[in-house]
C-alpha cells in the first residue's frame, strides 16, 4: 500500500504541508480501500501515515519524491497533511515512474489531476525491481501489506425495524427537534452511499460520469428539447434529467418517511423459495435533520450558482480555487465569470458576488413539483457543489441517523395496505399496469 499525492502547484512539495479539497482525497482509489479509510478516524490516520508516499506534479513536471505523512488534519471541506521526505531516496525522474505506472495502479489520466489516491501496491519493491531506486536495508512498516480490520468502515444503524408499525414508532421519536426532517431509502445498506449518481465511481475509483457532466446536460436537451420547453432555470432541467435517470449532482430525498421505507424495501429482496423470500439484503432508511434556515427554494441564488456548475466543463471546474481569500479574487477567476454568465441567463441582474460556500458545499432545496413522480414522492433534493462530499455519519449541517430495515417483503405488503406501492410511487400507466398484473397474478396458495 502507498499514498500517491499529485498536484498542479509547482513547488508545493517544498513547503512540508499541503491542503487537498476533501473530494480529492481517495480519488482513483478502489472502493474497498476508500470505504475503509474515508472517515479518517484516529486509527485510519495512523494506518495511512504508516504507508510510504509518492509525491508528484501534474504533467510530469519537476521531480518526484518518496516520503511519509507525519500529520493529518481534516475539516469539513479540506484535508491538511504535513509530511517529510525520506532521505534514503534521492529525487526521482518522474518520467521513469510513468513507464511502470500500470504496475503501481496509476492510470494515465491521473497524471493530469490533482488528487490523493491510496494504491494497493508495494511502492518500494516496484521501484526497486525497476531499478528506479536502490532499496535500503531498513525495517518495513507494520501495515505495508493491507488494511487492518480495526480501521474498516462501518456505517452503523442506530436501530432496526421489521414492520411498518415499528418504523412509524421510530420516526415519531424524531418529533420536537425544531428541525425539518427528510428521508432516503437504500435497498442495500452495505452497498449504497450518500452520493449523487454523478459522483459514482467504478471499482478502481474512477469517476464514471463527472468528466462529461456538461456534455450529458446538453445532449439530453438536444435529444428531447420538447420535454424541457417549460423549464425556466437550470435546476428545473436537472430535476427533469434526474427524473429520466440521467446522472446529476442531485440526491433525491423525501419529506414522506413511508416513501423512503418503500425504496428501502422495493428491491434486493432475495430469492423466492416456496412462496417466501430468503437471503434478502438488509435495507435502511436514512434520516436528515436540517435547520429550516438552511433549506433553500427553487428560486434561491445559492441554488442557481450550484445548479449551473453542471454547464461548466470539467477543466473549468478543476481550475476553480476555493481557497482564495477575498470575494473579489474568487469572482475574478475565468471559470467564475463563465458561471456568472450562465446564472444571468435565468437571473439577469445577478451580481458577481458568488461565495465559496455557494458552490463548494451541499444544500437542501425544495424544487417545483413539476411532474407527478416528484409530487407523489414528496420529493426534495440535496444539491452537491464543487468537490462536495457528505460524510456518511452526518455533519454539523446534516444530522444523519440510520434505521436498518429487515423483513422487506412483508413490509411491502403492509405499505400496500396504506396505498404506498408501485402504482402510487411511480404514477404512470405502465407502472399501474404492472402493479395490477402482479396483484392479481396466480398464487400457489389460492388453489
pLDDT digits (tens, 9 = 90+) for 209-264: 999 999 999 999 999 999 899 999 999 999 999 988 899 999 999 999 999 999 99
What is the pLDDT confidence band of residue 94, given thresholds at 50, 70 and 90? Answer: confident
- C-alpha cell read off for 101: 505506472
| pLDDT above 80 (res 388) | yes
| pLDDT above 80 (res 328) | yes
What is the pLDDT confidence band of residue 143, given thresholds at 50, 70 and 90? Answer: very low
What pLDDT does 136 receive?
53
What pLDDT does 318 receive?
87
What pLDDT does 67 receive?
94
What value does the mean pLDDT take over residues 182-186? 96
| pLDDT above 60 (res 272) | yes
What pLDDT does 177 receive?
73
196 against 396, higher pLDDT: 196
Any alpha helices (H) in 4-52, and if so which ranges?
31-37, 42-50
What pLDDT does 107 receive?
87
What is the pLDDT confidence band of residue 163, given thresholds at 50, 70 and 90? Answer: very high
264 against 32, higher pLDDT: 264
Mean pLDDT of the chain: 86
**Phi/psi of residue 380, nearest 5 degrees:** -140, 180
What pLDDT does 137 receive?
44
What pLDDT does 140 receive?
45
Is the CB of residue 299 less than 8 Å from the CB of residue 227? no
pLDDT tens-place string over residues 1-15: 999 999 988 899 999
What value does the mean pLDDT take over residues 385-390? 84
Q: Which strands, in side-by-side order, build the sheet including 78-85?
A: 17-21, 78-85, 65-74, 53-57, 2-7, 115-119
**Phi/psi of residue 142, nearest 5 degrees:** -65, -25
What pLDDT does 270 receive?
86
What value does the mean pLDDT take over residues 345-349? 93
Comparing CA positions, the residue from 128, 147, 149 lying closest to residue 138 is: 128
Neighbours of 410 (CB within 10 A): 15
What pLDDT does 70 receive?
95
What pLDDT does 434 receive?
63
Q: For 280-330, what is the HEC assignment?
A: CCCEEEEEEEECHHHEEECCCHHHHHHHHHHHCCHHHHHHCCCCCCCHHHH
| pLDDT above 50 (res 118) | yes
Handedness of CA 437, 440, 443, 447 (dihedral sign): negative
What pLDDT does 205 receive?
79
Beta bridge partners of 17: 82
What pLDDT does 138 receive?
44
Cα–Cα distance measured from residue 346 to residue 343, given in angstroms and rounded to the nearest whole number: 6
pLDDT tens-place string over residues 275-287: 788 889 999 999 9
Cα–Cα distance measured from residue 188 to residue 186, given in angstroms and rounded to the nearest whole number: 5
| pLDDT above 70 (res 151) | no
Beta bridge partners of 278: 271
In the block, residue with C-alpha cell 510513468: 98
What pLDDT does 201 receive?
85
What 8-state DSSP symbol labels residue 139? P
| pLDDT above 90 (res 433) | no
- C-alpha cell read off for 170: 421510530
What pLDDT does 153 receive?
54
What pLDDT does 154 receive?
55
| pLDDT above 90 (res 360) | no
296 against 426, higher pLDDT: 296
Query: 79 by DSSP, 3-state: which?
Result: strand
| pLDDT above 90 (res 149) | no
What is the pLDDT confidence band of residue 141, given thresholds at 50, 70 and 90? Answer: very low
Neighbours of 104 (CB within 10 A): 19
Element (DSSP H or E) covering residue 401: strand 399-405
What pLDDT does 335 receive?
95
Q: What is the torsion angle, in degrees rounded to the nearest 10, for the CA atoms of residue 66, residue 70, residue 73 and residue 78? A: -10
Cα–Cα distance measured from residue 146 to residue 149, given in angstroms and rounded to the nearest whole number: 9
What pLDDT does 142 receive?
43
Q: For the purposes of burial, counting CB atoms within 10 Å of the CB of 118, is it exposed (0-12), middle (13-18) or buried (19 or more)?
A: buried
| pLDDT above 80 (res 122) | yes
What pLDDT does 349 receive?
92
**Across 2-16, 34-48, 127-141, 279-293, least confident range:** 127-141
Query: 179 by DSSP, 3-state: which?
Result: coil
Amino acid at each position: 500500500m502507498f499514498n500517491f499525492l499529485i498536484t498542479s502547484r509547482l513547488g508545493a512539495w517544498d513547503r512540508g504541508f499541503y491542503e487537498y479539497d476533501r473530494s480529492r482525497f481517495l480519488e482513483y482509489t478502489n472502493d474497498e480501500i476508500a470505504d475503509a479509510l474515508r472517515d479518517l478516524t484516529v486509527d485510519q490516520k495512523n494506518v495511512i501515515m504508516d504507508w510510504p508516499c509518492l509525491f508528484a506534479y501534474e504533467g510530469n513536471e519537476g521531480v518526484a519524491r518518496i516520503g511519509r505523512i507525519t500529520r493529518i488534519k481534516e475539516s469539513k471541506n479540506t484535508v491538511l497533511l504535513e509530511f517529510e521526505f525520506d532521505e534514503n531516496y534521492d529525487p526521482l525522474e518522474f518520467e521513469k515512474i510513468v513507464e511502470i505506472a500500470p504496475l503501481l495502479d496509476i492510470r494515465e489520466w491521473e497524471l493530469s489531476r490533482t488528487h490523493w489516491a491510496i494504491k494497493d501496491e508495494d511502492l518500494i519493491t516496484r521501484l526497486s525491481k525497476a531499478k528506479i531506486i536502490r532499496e535500503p536495508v531498513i525495517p518495513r512498516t507494520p501495515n505495508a501489506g493491507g488494511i487492518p480490520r480495526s480501521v474498516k468502515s462501518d456505517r452503523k444503524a442506530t436501530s432496526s425495524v421489521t414492520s411498518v408499525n415499528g418504523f412509524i414508532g421510530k420516526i415519531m421519536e424524531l418529533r420536537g427537534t425544531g428541525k425539518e426532517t427528510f428521508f432516503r431509502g437504500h435497498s442495500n445498506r452495505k452497498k449504497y452511499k450518500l452520493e449523487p449518481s454523478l459522483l459514482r465511481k467504478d471499482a478502481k475509483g474512477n469517476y464514471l460520469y463527472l468528466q462529461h457532466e456538461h456534455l450529458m446536460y446538453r445532449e439530453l436537451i438536444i435529444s428531447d428539447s420538447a420535454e424541457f420547453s417549460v423549464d425556466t432555470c437550470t435546476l428545473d432541467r436537472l430535476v427533469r434529467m434526474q427524473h429520466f435517470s440521467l446522472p446529476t449532482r442531485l440526491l433525491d430525498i423525501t419529506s414522506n418517511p413511508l416513501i423512503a421505507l418503500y425504496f428501502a424495501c422495493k428491491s434486493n429482496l432475495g430469492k423466492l423459495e416456496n412462496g417466501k423470500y430468503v437471503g434478502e439484503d438488509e435495507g435502511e432508511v436514512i434520516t436528515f435533520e436540517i435547520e429550516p434556515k438552511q433549506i433553500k427554494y427553487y428560486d434561491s441564488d445559492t441554488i442557481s450558482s450550484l445548479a449551473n456548475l453542471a454547464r461548466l466543463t470539467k477543466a473549468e471546474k478543476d481550475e476553480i480555487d476555493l481557497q482564495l481569500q477575498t470575494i473579489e479574487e474568487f469572482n475574478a477567476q475565468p471559470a467564475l465569470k463563465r458561471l456568472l454568465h450562465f446564472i444571468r441567463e435565468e437571473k439577469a441582474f445577478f451580481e458577481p458576488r458568488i461565495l465559496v460556500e455557494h458552490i463548494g458545499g451541499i444544500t437542501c432545496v425544495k424544487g417545483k413539483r413539476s411532474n407527478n413522480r416528484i409530487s407523489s414522492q414528496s420529493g426534495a433534493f440535496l444539491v452537491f457543489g464543487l468537490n462536495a462530499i457528505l460524510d456518511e455519519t452526518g455533519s454539523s449541517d446534516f444530522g444523519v441517523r440510520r434505521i436498518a430495515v429487515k423483513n422487506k417483503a412483508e413490509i411491502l405488503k403492509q405499505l400496500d395496505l396504506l396505498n404506498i406501492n408501485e402504482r402510487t410511487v411511480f404514477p404512470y400507466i405502465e407502472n399501474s399496469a404492472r402493479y395490477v398484473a402482479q396483484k392479481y397474478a396466480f398464487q400457489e396458495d389460492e388453489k
